[in-house]
């Protein structure tokens, strides 16, 4: 088995970047989901679930930790990583509340124009990260702005099986994984507990419950009228927590990943 693809999503619910190699830190892939849009009034996080056109929002991670935002009909904007004097804004993501640096008024004006209502852009530094979902993993596991865990893994064969059941090819980016594994049987990842990629070990902590976001075409931002592939997943992958597809991971230690690296099942 090998690592066949790497994806980073600098902005939560924005477009993904396909990478050949990347470093890891305690929060997963370097720069992954470290930025987020929030409603200015409530501080509540925004995603494609409610704002489908976020699928057309490109957010490229800069080497200094900043961000470049662009979207159709909007001029690109470079946003610097907030410094130690940046205003802290109270935000809510699922059941978590935290205070994180605001990216400033210029960034806020740009994202507000794109979203169509008062919106702010925030960033999470390592020392303000959340803990992972209670009941899974270790007490000191942390996550940035991903839904619950630092990393998501999907087997290529699992996507191919789902595509066959749906009756048309499906894009891997519908499911927003960080790591794609080639050479395993379909859904083999359901039974993994620990794996190693290169020199980095990962714990497989929880299956990923899928939502309406999977029905949004990552290229056009349009929702599928037949609710696929979620409708098919609900027929044969349903559990108490929802329709499962992919596995959430936590990396034990830092390191570097590169497409093509061997994948070893440790447990």
Domains and CATH numbers, the chain: 2-7+132-265 (2.40.33), 29-130 (no CATH)
Q: What is the percent of the chain with per-residue pLDDT over 70, rounded to a whole number?
A: 100
Report the sign of the C-alpha dihedral through residues 180, 223, 28, 79, in that order: positive
DSSP label at residue 168: S
What's the mean pLDDT in 84-89?
90
Residue written as token pair 């960033």: 123
pLDDT digits (tens, 9 = 90+) for 104-124: 999 999 999 999 999 999 999
pLDDT at 12 over 90: yes
| pLDDT the model gives residue 219 | 83
More confident residue, 241 or 266: 266
Task: Please give the average per-residue pLDDT across 183-205, as a whole number.
Answer: 97
Judged on CB neighbours under 10 Å (0-12, 13-18, 19+), 145 is buried
Q: Which residues of 119-134 are buried (b: 16+ CB within 10 A; e: fewer)?
A: bbbbbbbeeebbebbe
Q: Please state the φ and ψ torsions of residue 252, each to the nearest 5 degrees.
A: -95, 95
DSSP H or E run through 115: helix 105-115
Rounded Cα gap, residues 115 and 53, in angstroms: 8
pTM of this structure? 0.95
Query: Terminus-to-terminus CA distance in the chain, angstroms?
Result: 15
Rounded Cα distance between 172 and 250, Å, is 21
Closest by Cα among 37, 193, 44 to 115: 37
């Amino acid at each position: 088995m090998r690592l066949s693809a790497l994806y980073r999503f600098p902005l939560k619910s924005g477009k993904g970047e396909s990478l050949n190699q990347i470093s890891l830190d305690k929060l997963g892939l370097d720069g992954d989901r470290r930025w987020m849009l929030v409603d200015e009034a409530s501080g509540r996080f925004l995603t494609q679930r409610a704002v489908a056109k976020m699928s057309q929002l490109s957010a490229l991670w800069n080497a200094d930790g900043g961000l470049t935002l662009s979207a159709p009909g909007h001029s690109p904007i470079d946003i610097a990583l907030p410094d130690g004097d940046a205003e802290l804004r109270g935000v809510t993501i699922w059941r978590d509340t935290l205070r994180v640096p605001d990216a400033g008024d210029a960034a806020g004006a740009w994202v507000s124009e794109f979203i169509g209502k008062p919106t702010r852009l925030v960033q999470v530094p390592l020392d303000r990260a959340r803990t992972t979902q209670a009941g899974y993993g270790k007490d000191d596991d942390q996550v940035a702005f991903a839904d619950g865990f630092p990393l998501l893994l999907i087997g290529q064969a699992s996507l191919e099986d789902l595509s066959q059941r749906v009756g048309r090819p499906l894009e891997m980016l519908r499911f927003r994984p960080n790591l794609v594994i080639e050479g395993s049987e379909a859904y083999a990842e359901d039974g993994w507990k620990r794996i190693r990629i290169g020199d980095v070990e990962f714990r497989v902590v929880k299956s990923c419950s899928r939502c309406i976001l999977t029905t949004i075409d990552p290229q056009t931002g349009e929702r599928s009228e037949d609710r696929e592939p979620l409708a098919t997943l609900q027929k044969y992958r349903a559990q108490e927590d929802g329709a499962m597809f992919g596995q959430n991971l936590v990396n034990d230690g830092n390191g570097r990943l590169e497409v093509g690296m061997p994948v070893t099942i440790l447990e």
